[in-house]
Amino acid sequence: MAAKTLQGTVTSQKMNKTITVVVGRRKKHPKYGKYINLSTKYHVHDEKEVSSEGDTVLIQECKPISKTKSWVLLDVLKKGETIE
Q: How many angstroms separate the CA atoms of 78 and 16, rounded?
A: 22
Label residue 82 by pLDDT band (50, 70, 90).
Answer: low
Label residue 80 by pLDDT band (50, 70, 90).
Answer: confident
What's the Cα-to-Cα distance from 81 to each of 11, 12, 38, rounded to whole Å? 12, 14, 24
The reported pLDDT for the residue numbered 84 is 54
CATH class given for the domain over 5-78: mainly beta
**Domain layout of the chain by residue ranges:** 5-78
Q: How many angstroms separate the CA atoms of 64 and 73, rounded?
A: 14
Closest CA to 19 of 34, 9, 28: 9
Burial of 51 (0-12, 13-18, 19+ CB in 10 A): buried
The reported pLDDT for the residue numbered 36 is 97
pLDDT tens per residue across span 4-61:
999 999 999 999 999 999 999 999 999 999 999 999 999 999 999 999 999 999 999 9
Its pTM stands at 0.88
